[in-house]
Amino acid sequence: MKKKLVADRMSLIDASGIRKVFALAADLKDPVNFSIGQPDFDVPEPLKREAIKAIEAGFNRYSQTAGEKDLMDKVAAQMTAEFGWQNPAVLVASGVSGGLLLAFMALINPGDEVIIPDPYFVIYKHVVNLLGGKCVFVDSYPDFRLPVDKIADAITEKTKLIILNSPANPTGIVYSPAEVEALAAVAAREDVLVLTDEIYEQFSYDGPATSIAKYYENVLVMRGFSKSYAMTGWRLAYVAAPASLRPLMEEMLKIQQYTFVCAPTPFQKAAVAAMDYDVSPLVRDYVRKRDLLYAGLKDTFELARPQGAFYAFVKVPNGSGTEFVRRAIQNNMLVIPGNVFSEKDTHFRISFATTDEKIRQGVEILRRLA
Note if the pTM is more than 0.75: yes
Q: Is residue 217 part of a domain?
A: yes
Residue 364 pLDDT level (bands cut at 50, 70, 90) = very high
Q: What angle do CA 171, 172, 175 make, to 5 degrees?
A: 100
Residue 24 pLDDT level (bands cut at 50, 70, 90) = low
Over residues 331-351, the pLDDT tens digits come to 999 999 999 999 999 999 999
Instruction: Tell me, yes or no, whether 161 and 18 share the same domain.
Output: no
pLDDT at residue 16 in the model? 59
Over residues 213-245, the pLDDT tens digits come to 999 999 999 999 999 999 999 999 999 999 999
Cis peptide bond upstream of 119, omega within 30:
yes
Q: Give yes or no for residue 48 having a pLDDT over 90.
A: yes
Q: What angle do CA 363, 365, 370 make, to 5 degrees?
A: 95
- What does DSSP assign to residue 8? G
Instruction: Tell me, yes or no, whether 211 and 332 share the same domain.
Output: no
Instruction: Tell me, yes or no, whether 154 and 135 share the same domain.
Output: yes
Residue 2 pLDDT level (bands cut at 50, 70, 90) = confident
Kindly give the pairing relationship between strand 113-118 and strand 134-139: parallel
Q: How many domains does the chain have?
A: 2
Q: Is residue 128 part of a domain?
A: yes
Instruction: Tell me, yes or no, whether 104 and 206 share the same domain.
Output: yes
Q: Is residue 1 part of a domain?
A: no
Instruction: Tell me, yes or no, whether 131 and 95 share the same domain.
Output: yes
pLDDT at residue 66 in the model? 97
Name the residue range of residue 182's domain: 61-274
pLDDT at residue 103 in the model? 98
